[in-house]
């Protein structure tokens, strides 16, 4: 490893830490903010949930395509697909925040066993969506730094977690969508 790679990783490690803490804190803080209730004249963005659920589904497909690409030694395609997956995740996050800051929260209306299944999926989705942030960023930085041995090692953890988050995002949407107002 050259010293410039070490410096690059050190530089990015600061950003990884900042973003890994900042993003969940901002989302948590904004989740309780409703701009309309604060007096802002904004329309509820109720059209967003099916769009950001679709983006989650698209992210899952892109992740699977990226896995296929790297297993077939299509490194350039893998890189483009992974960058696209990151962009999709950022778009999801922006839309998710926009929806929740302009619209009332929807409660899951199912009863019995389905309620426990829903909350299990929701809670694991939320916890892992927070946990995957530093994993995605570290995995990406290892690739940027051309530390492909380390990249591959951490990607074995990052990939299934990120895929789970993307798929469960769609499942959560499908389960709660009948209860949207």
> Which pLDDT score is estimated for 2?
47
CATH number, domain at 95? 1.20.120
Give the separation between CA 99 and CA 167, rounded to whole angstroms.
20
Q: How many domains does the chain have?
A: 1
Asked if residue 92 lies in contact with residue 55, where contact means CB atoms within 8 angstroms, the answer is: yes
Q: What is the pLDDT of residues 94-146, one digit of tens each?
A: 999 999 999 988 899 999 999 999 999 999 999 999 999 999 999 999 999 99
> Which pLDDT score is estimated for 11?
84
Asked if residue 36 lies in contact with residue 102, where contact means CB atoms within 8 angstroms, the answer is: yes
- Rounded to an integer, the average pLDDT of 26-40 is 85
> Which pLDDT score is estimated for 5?
60
- Using CA atoms, how far residue 40 sits from 28, 32, 35, 85, 140, in Å, is 20, 15, 5, 33, 38
CA angle, corner 166, sides to 18 and 75, nearest 5? 80
Q: Closest Cα to residue 92, out of 45, 119, 53, 126?
A: 53
Give the separation between CA 136 and CA 58, rounded to whole angstroms.
17
**Interaxial angle between packed helices 148-176 and 48-71, expressed in degrees from 0 to 180 and rounded to the nearest 10:** 150
- Rounded to an integer, the average pLDDT of 157-163 is 98
Q: What is the pLDDT of residues 58-71, one digit of tens each?
A: 999 999 999 999 99
pLDDT at 49 over 70: yes
Domain that holds residue 136: 3-179
Buried b (16+ CB within 10 A) or exposed e, 147-180: beebbeebbeebbeebbbbbbbbbbbbebbeeee
């Amino acid at each position: 490893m050259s010293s410039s790679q070490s410096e690059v990783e050190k530089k990015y490690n600061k950003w990884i830490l900042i973003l890994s803490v900042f993003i969940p804190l901002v989302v948590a803080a904004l989740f309780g903010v409703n701009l309309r209730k604060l007096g802002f004249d904004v329309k509820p963005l109720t059209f967003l949930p099916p769009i950001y659920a679709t983006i989650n589904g698209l992210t899952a497909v892109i992740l699977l395509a990226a896995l296929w690409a790297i297993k077939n030694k299509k490194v350039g395609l893998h890189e483009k697909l992974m960058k696209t997956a990151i962009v999709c995740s950022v778009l999801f996050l922006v839309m998710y925040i926009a929806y929740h800051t302009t619209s009332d929260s929807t409660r899951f209306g199912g009863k019995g066993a389905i309620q426990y299944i829903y909350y299990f999926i929701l809670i694991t989705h939320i916890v892992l969506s927070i946990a995957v942030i530093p994993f995605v960023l570290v995995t990406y930085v290892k690739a940027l730094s051309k530390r492909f041995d380390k990249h591959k090692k951490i990607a074995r953890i990052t990939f299934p977690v990120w895929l789970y988050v993307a798929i469960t995002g769609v499942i959560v949407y499908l389960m709660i969508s009948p209860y949207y107002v």
